A and B are shown apart, each in its own frame.
Chain A
Amino acid sequence: MIVESSEQVPRLKWPRRFPVPRDFGVAKNSRIIEGKSWPEPEGATRIATLRIYRYEPDNDGPPRIDTFAVDLDDCGPMLLDALIWIKSKVDSTLTFRRSCREGVCGSCAMTIDGTNWTACTRAMDELSEPSTIYPLANLPVIKDLVSDQTHLFAQHALTEPWLHTETPAPERERIQSVDQRRALDGSYECILCFCCTSGCPSHWWNGDRFLGPAALLTAWRWLADSRDEGRGERLDSLDDPFRLYRCHTILNCTRTCPRGLNPGKAIGEIKRMMLERGG
């Protein structure tokens, strides 16, 4: 099938996951066991089954998958509504991040049915039955669906996402033409949900040194800014076999961005800019 927008939910029922054993290459404390199955709500006629990853740091137990039955007639239309419904009506210990509930804060990103998306913009009727809800892929888990993104933000900070200048500050603001401003469209809208970086196989294998699509999209946002005077140092810092060039143009990033951005293309632009300066 041809995918035209990252919003499109995969239609094929198969294959749902790669043909590898569930515990393939998985450290002992990360292996997932079957957890609790909660009873169906009484009197419900329309039910959605959510299989949710749980991890409780305060006891020594391994992560587990709990099964919840959600009464669709009693909760809002989005996955985030269903999670809030579970938290208030079934199990108040279920833990997840959320804030804006409209896809602009990036807090509620998770791996939904095997692909990354923000829970507040994924409708319940787009889920499979049963659906699987995991914390963002390939990250240390703090509790349940809350992942530890310290490393991802450190990588983001490494791109020095602020204006670098050498010329003295002008009397008024630094001016851009309409076209120069337009060159930033598609790279400044990133909400740092990290759906892309968490879904990038290259970042799975080399995430300690490869910056990943989210940080590289931000790097491009400053490289493309006509007011920025730090292009040379910015390129120097990226000119490294790992930081930039571990991107193999797999494009899982572009496929999964809930804002419809194109980090894969931004990385292509950086590689071309690097080539053009001869480095």
Chain B
Amino acid sequence: MSNPRPQSPNMQNYRPQLTSVMSFGHRLSGSALVFFAFGLSAWLVAGAAGPLVFDDAQAVVHSIAGRVMLILASLAVFYHLCNGIRHLIWDSVHGFELRAIYAGGWAVVGASLFLTSALWIWVLA
């Protein structure tokens, strides 16, 4: 054949479902946490470098952007943690029925949102 066959679309046409979206979310939060770890060490280094540098670092942390990043980072921590537990349960070959897959998925979404808000209410209160 002269022209190679076209490929039918995958991601461009396939419906997002709790199953795939949560898996992408797990990847995304995992990668975000790597960057968060860099940010955390930068903050610690600033602390070790003396009060002047540390003041600058604190200013960044307390800026609007800094706060949003912190909230997102805590959400990533909780999501990755809760979903990690879900994956551990699967590794023991439990919870593979569709009902359990979906109930567990929504529970993880709910728990990570709840834990994130609880943390920030506690921090800011």
Contact = CB atoms under 8 A, between A and B. Distances in A.
Nearest to B22: A250
Given A60-B3, A250-B20, A271 B10 contact: no
**How would you classify the secondary structure of chain B's contact residues: helix, strand, loop or mixed?**
loop
Contacts of A16: 15
A222 interface: no
Given A15-B16, A254-B98, A135 B23 contact: no
A137 B99 contact: no
A30 B13 CA distance: 13
Given A4-B99, A255-B98, A269-B93, A32 B9 contact: yes
Nearest to A4: B99
A147 B8 contact: yes
A201 B20 contact: yes
Contact of B7 (A5, A20, A114, A140): A140
Nearest to B18: A3
Interface string A132-154: 10111111111000011000000
Interface in B16-49: 16-20, 23-24
Contacts, number: 142
Interface of A: 1-6, 10, 15-18, 20-27, 29-30, 32, 53, 55, 57, 60, 62-63, 111, 113-115, 132, 134-142, 147-148, 199, 201, 204, 248-252, 254-255, 262, 264-265, 268-269, 271-272
B7 A111 contact: no
A271 B11 contact: no
Contacts of B50: none
A201 to B, nearest CB: 6
Contact of A265 (B8, B10, B20, B93): B93
A252 B8 contact: no
B54 interface: no
B6 A10 contact: no
B12 interface: yes
A126 to B, nearest CB: 14
B23 A113 contact: no
A273 to B, nearest CB: 10
Given A248-B23, A265-B96, A204 B11 contact: yes
Contact of A255 (B6, B19, B87, B103): B19
